[in-house]
Amino acid sequence: MCLAFARGIGHKRLMLELVRSVPSSSDPIDCRMVAHDLWPRRFLERREELPVTLPSRVFWPRDDAEVQAVVRAARVERRAVVPFGAGSGVCGGISPSSTAWVLDLKRMDRVVSLDKERRTVTVEAGIIGDRLERALNARGFTLGHFPSSIYCSTVGGWVATRSAGQLSSRYGKIEDMVLAVHGVDGRGERLFAAIDDPTTGPAAVQLLTGSEGALAVLTRVVLRVQPLSSHRFLRGFSFRDLPTGLQAMRALLAAGEAPAVLRLYDPLDSALAGGAAAPDEPLRVHAGGIARAGLEDSGPAHGGDGEEPTLFDALVRRVEELAVFSRPRATRAIVGELLGRPGLANTILDRVHGQPRLVVGLEGDAADLERRAPRLRQTLLALGAADLGDSPGSRWLAHRHRVSYRMSKAFAVGGWVDTCEVACGWEQVTPLYQAVREALRDTALVLCHFSHAYLDGCSLYFTFAGGGTAGAGPRSALARYDTTWDRALTTIRRHGAVIAHHHGVGRSKVRGLRHAPGTRSLLDELKRTLDPDTILNPGVLGLPGAP
Amino acid sequence: MSEPTTTATTTTSTLPATAAQPALPADWAPLVERLRLAHLAGEGVDVDDVALGAPRLGAADALVIDAHNGLVDVDARLSLSLIARALRARGWALPLLRPLPAAPLWRLATRAPFVVDALVQRATLLSVDGDLVETPAAPRHAAGPSLLHTATAPAPMAVLVRARLRVVSAAHTTTWTERFDDAAALAARVRDLVDGARAVAACARGRTLVVLGGASLAPTGSAAGSTAPAPVHRVDDDGADEASDLRWTSARSLRPGDVFGIESALRAGRRVVSVPYLQRTAVLERARPPRALLDVKGATAALVDALASAPANAPRDGSHHTTTPTQTQESP
Ligand SMILES: Cc1cc2nc3c(=O)[nH]c(=O)nc-3n(C[C@H](O)[C@H](O)[C@H](O)COP(=O)(O)OP(=O)(O)OC[C@H]3O[C@@H](n4cnc5c(N)ncnc54)[C@H](O)[C@@H]3O)c2cc1C
């Protein structure tokens, strides 16, 4: 008994000794940097001057052994450990308690090896997406994974959240690209799973994928890569209504086209974007695949002209047009006011008659695209499309990563913006789209686009924008934000759609999960076995552990 | 590929997003009881030792096809070969080329994860503790760990009771054959098909490749590495190679671009099957790796043990190859 006790003390000392060599900081500024992700609710809380909880320490491990040391020491100390990629998550996946340790993986950022023949790349989990893509491009390859956040998200974060990129209809989601994972579980044990390892098989890979840091810290990932395409073709089309546009998307997939880009914008989004038809513009095949062309010239912007116009900018422009004056301050105030009166704003926007716009892009060699492009155009025209020419495609290509990394301007005028991405079978897409817009009519403005399509269903990507209730006090924006999400999640569930397609569940959508007892017990057992002390990112995915 | 059709024989109903509060089908009750008794005795149940009796699938209307999404709901006690036959009669096909195994789907799932990976969109599972589990109805696993894969773990935590399978319309696909000089060229072609993500299914054996895909994909000239102009000949409506007596019972998943793995499987006389549009590849085998049904706790522990013991064998670069060449690797 005494010996066991002494051994226990020795073990504890050893664990704490080992963790001391891992670079770390408890400086409040360092801890502030990893205190939360980009969940918009956190910005609202900050605006309302609600306190921010800082973790007790942030670690920057350099290899698997150091990750193991941190997890083991945390287990001894019964502290939560929260894996942190780049913090670009938008669902509250990172929300450490004041006693928690954060494991920031960004020092584990090496491209370990590239196997050109088997077309695989092995990378450490903390590498930022565009660094990996550039390294691959330099060798003639692409991963084909282009989330808008490619400049501020990591491979580990992608796998942990089942991320999707802009070219998903050609290259798949990240879960289609993951071939093997290395990690450390909540016991501090190293793990390895590979789809071609008979002892683990695809099962283990797919059980760790999407686990949002709650089952293991992913340290290294093997992904499939592909040679860069030599040419691209991009074109815009419009449709008389949304169902016709959706039907056209589905028909293209059914014809075996696998377009690299397939993005349909709803009428409002299309109208706010503007643009005119150019049916006579000749079909043009350009040198350079979409994968390569994207990164070279569409980098992140820091404000000004280069930035992709947001819903806020589009509204400002509309108000300016309607008001026939250009007083930026007044216009912004009006837009702020509109965000606070979504019922009124929606009634005005109902009068904006846009036509859904589709951007389609193909990749391949020149001869292949010269053959496919006219056929694709013909197919779409036969399905009721009007040809908008090259410009919607080239515009999309040029701006595709120019998302703003600053807080949305809507926050500055008392409003808020958030996104919600769900997925369902094709027959549910239009009813769900209409139902969500209807359910949120008096709480938010709603835009939607459809950019991840499959033969058996499609994802809907909603943007919600709103504000506080006029004269209802400082916390009213927060209250309306929560009401909007409650209503959205209820509507999504009622339509049988899944509550997340590629952002994960985090904490923001846990209330939308309704696990039946059988599901619960499978998930709980996985958690119990891999993380018996529930120290790994407690609270995400509705898994056991203090939120 | 799949498209709505108005032919009288096709059911075009839309399948429910999730079944409302599923009840355990009576036919499965004996398995639950058997598992319960085995657990009390601290034993597992050999999957080969479970007979569940197959439902009849004589009448075509036993299959409900969702033509809108290209999906069909099936009882997992049916075999893929039976399902394929019934689908063919209705103008639809599985995204897999024949020969298809006669083993029931639920048992196949435990030995051929590839089948679940590529074919199953969602499922009703029976956990080995006797609970029914509905996996989400979505084109991708979408959120959290994929529960579907609890049925494909080496010690399964659950078995398939019903499955929603992806199917394609025969009216929109064609089948062609390509022949190659050697296994290496054929392996490279399989890899390229999967990279292209456009064909529905491919089956390679020896030096021959049969492909199922959209009509526009069929090569018009000589395919890369092929000795004969393609298409060499049209095979029957779902690419059947009826002469074959090869009935597989398990499948080993491959990295889709693993040309060396594909080539060595071909040289060993194995079939390599792919579902290019879903980017999955596997080698078909006749081995029957032992599969025991434990309780959830035992099955999870077995999986985690496998995860924890694998790193010892895994190369430092994280790759895990079944064949040798590493000279092609490059550290950037
Ligand atoms: C402007 C903008 C655009 C976006 N566009 C897209 C898009 O197009 N597609 C898309 O899919 N997403 C998009 N996102 C969301 C976000 O970028 C993704 O969720 C991304 O995958 C998160 O990566 P990260 O490295 O920043 O992870 P983090 O935010 O750091 O973490 C996300 C979750 O994963 C866990 N985690 C992180 N790393 C690891 C690891 N190594 N091991 C275990 N768990 C880990 C965390 O604990 C957390 O639960 C966007 C976000 C922003 C802000």
> What number of CA atoms fall less than 13 Å from residue B204's CA on the CB side?
32
CB atoms within 10 A of CB A454: 25
A163 lines ligand 1 (CB under 6 A): yes
Residues A490 and A176: their CA atoms lie apart, in Å, by 29
Q: State whether residue A300 sits within 8 Å of chain B by CB.
A: no
- Answer whether B85's CB lies under 8 Å from B21's CB: no
Residue with tokens 């594909």: B262
Question: How much of chain B exceeds pLDDT 90, in percent?
Answer: 54
Domain spans of chain A, in order of start: 3-106, 111-227, 232-292+307-494
Q: Is the pLDDT of residue B157 over 60?
A: yes
**Per-residue confidence (pLDDT) for residue A300, from 0 to 100:** 54
Question: What local confidence, expressed as pLDDT, does residue A326 receive?
Answer: 57
pLDDT at residue B129, rounded to an integer: 92
In terms of pLDDT, which residue wins out, B188 or A276? B188
Average pLDDT (A381-406) is 84
pTM of full prediction above 0.80: yes
Where residue B325 falls among pLDDT bands split at 50, 70, 90?
very low
The rounded Cα B159 to chain-centroid distance in angstroms is 15
pLDDT score recorded for residue B211: 96
**A425 touching B (Cβ < 8 Å):** yes
B141 or B278: which leads in pLDDT = B278
- Whether residue B140 is predicted with pLDDT greater than 90 in this model: the reply is no
Q: Give mean pLDDT, residues B34-58.
A: 84
The CATH number of domain A111-227, selected from 3.40.1190.20, 3.30.390.30, 3.30.465.10, 3.40.50.20: 3.30.465.10
Euclidean distance between CA atoms A130 and A388, whole angstroms: 31
**pLDDT confidence of residue B69:** 94
| CA A93 to ligand 1: nearest atom | 49
CATH class of A3-106: alpha beta
Chain B contact for A65, CB < 8 A? no
Atom 16 of ligand 1 has which residue's CA nearest to it? A89
Residue with more model confidence, A100 or A331: A100
pLDDT of B204 over the 70 cut = yes
* Lookup result for tokens 């009216």: B171
Instruction: For the domain made up of A232-292+307-494, give the CATH fold.
Output: Vanillyl-alcohol Oxidase; Chain A, domain 3 (3.40.462)
Answer yes or no: is pLDDT of A418 > 80: yes
Q: What is the pLDDT of residues B252-285, one digit of tens each?
A: 999 999 999 999 999 999 999 999 999 999 999 9
Residue of B nearest to A170 (CA): B197
Output the CA A503–ligand 1 centroid distance in Å: 7
With 80 as the cut, is the pLDDT of residue B249 above it?
Answer: yes
For A279-315, what is each residue's pLDDT tens digit? Answer: 788 999 999 999 875 555 555 544 444 445 566 666 6
Comparing A372-376, A394-398, A417-421, B242-246, which segment has the lowest mean pLDDT? Answer: B242-246
User: Which are the contacts of A8, defined by CB distance < 8 A and separation ≥ 6?
Assistant: none
Supply the pLDDT for residue A2.
60
* Residue from B69, B190, B307 whose CB has the most chain A CBs within 10 Å, to mutate: B307
The ipTM assigned to this model is 0.90
- Distances in Å between the alpha carbon of A470 and those of A292, A337, A475? 47, 8, 11
For residue B289, the model assigns a pLDDT of 85
Option in B197, B214, B332 nearest A255 (CB):
B214
In the block, tokens 């997406």 appear at A129
CB nearest to A516's CB, from B133, B196, B278? B133
Alpha helices (runs of H) in B26-140, residue ranges in sequence order: 29-40, 80-89, 105-111, 113-119
Residue A293's pLDDT is what?
59
Strands laid side by side in the B280-285 sheet: B173-179, B208-214, B201-205, B272-275, B280-285, B250-254
To the nearest whole angstrom, how far is the Cα of A488 from the nearest Cα of chain B?
17
